[in-house]
Chains A and B, each alone.
Chain A
Amino acid sequence: MIFKRPEGLTNTPWRYCPGCGHGIVHRLIGEVIDELGIREKTIGIAPVGCSVFMYEYFNCDMIQTAHGRAPAVATGIKRSHPDLICFSYQGDGDLAAIGTAETVHSAARGENFTIIFINNTIYGMTGGQQAPTTMPGQKTTTNPYGRDTRIHGFPIRVCEMLATLDGPVYLERVAVNKPVNVIRAKRAISKAIKLQVDNKGFSLVEILSPCPTGWGLSPKSACEYMDKVMLPYYPLGVFKDLIK
């Protein structure tokens, strides 16, 4: 067999929309769990949002948390049992709106866990409302005329913001809209979790991810939209890497 489901994932069918990026990222994390051989000591943290059901999809111990609180839960887990490997998986509303304090302070403390941050510029599960990362001009169900920065403010660039802190050891923004980016995304996830295994400290990988349903685009044009609109605003790259 040359291609199979990673051990790190269960065989539960995913309930994601066609063209959604969650499935790709789940698969990448599953592969990394296998490659690092950490499945039996990994605790995954499910957020609130479309990916809340990931506790059914990952074949390791899982905990589901309140909206935005995953980094606090991860802190409790890792400080109690530093030998466990802990990653949280959070969307933009979860991480950069309601959970901003938890994100910033766990990064500032340099907690030794990994955040996989999915930025798709929208609240998916609740029906497509404005997120803290929604693009200027982007229409959502809570700003039907498009995000007007004079009224709704500006999107938050999480990696850039966290890079001002001394706590994080590794911050990178990647995307999953085309194969070359997916390969880079996996490399970043692998590096982030490996740093945790080596007790190096806080790591976060921001993954720009398509939400065709929320954006009102076909899966193909959603990926093109990312290149055209999202990437210029959210440039890909490494924003912090203390352990080169």
Chain B
Amino acid sequence: MEMFDLTIIWAGIIGFGLMMYVLMDGFDLGLGILYPFAPDEDARDVMMNSVAPVWDGNETWLVLAGAGLLGAFPLVYSVFLPALYIGVFLMLAGLIFRGVAFEFRFKSRRNRRWWNRAFCWGSGVAAFAQGAVVGAYIQGFHVENFAFAGGAFDWLTPFSVLTGFGLMAGYALLGATWLILKSEGHIQEWAYRITPLLLALVLGVFGIISIWTPFVNPVVWERWFGHLQLIWVFPALALLSAFMVYRSVKRRDEGIPFVATIGIYVFTYLGLIVSKWPIIVPPNYTLWDAASAPESQLFLLIGVLFVIPIILTYTAWTYWVFRGKVRVGEGYH
């Protein structure tokens, strides 16, 4: 066991799982956020149909990351969840309403507008709560004796509200570029029109966060303005991705806007990780402090290494089966 540091392997697995979750559930939550602004009911049908076969598979990654945290990094689980108590409830309520709306909206006519509302509010609340979690993570937690010791609304600060709206805008951008890929005609045209606006919003919020973060957190300040110059490559690549989104929308490319938006996420995510590494429960606890016993990590690793390839195959297969455009008045067959 000396050959491998199980804690590093687990950090990789959970980091990967969370990234998959943010990207994949991101675009379908984003469509929920854009829902009330859609030009017509046809567009709403197409938006929902474009994610209906995949959304619950997307949510799989959240549950896997959550269960993995309890198994491999229990301190994260037992500090983040109490610290974000109200936020976690709002996120779960949002995800439940959104999930149920997916199922019943299509089977419903008379009650359809209620399911529309559940879909849009559920998605928005869940996205905001997730963004606020990121903000709370950057701020850090008041931990005493391996337990959260702060108040119910410590997490809710102007900074975390900003990151909450930031992630809502980011998810909306993912949703809009996904819609470019999956739709055509006036719906695609609408998606092309809103993408630059959302991109500007995202860049604005990310800009404020990037300037604000080093002031919120001295460790981050040291990391970015200290000796480690190489990390500036991540924001540079994120900006390059943003430029690609803008240019590809101008040229009316269909696939590149979505791929480039993923680029923005991946490089921002990596930037966040290198800002904090190896602190996992800020301000004091590292990955190794938060880890469970090595034999527990190993026991669980066996099962997870078995199931992840299966989930990936299943996911790839589902996306392959449902590839191509979604048209008005036509679901999947």
Are A and B a genuine interacting pair, yes or no?
no
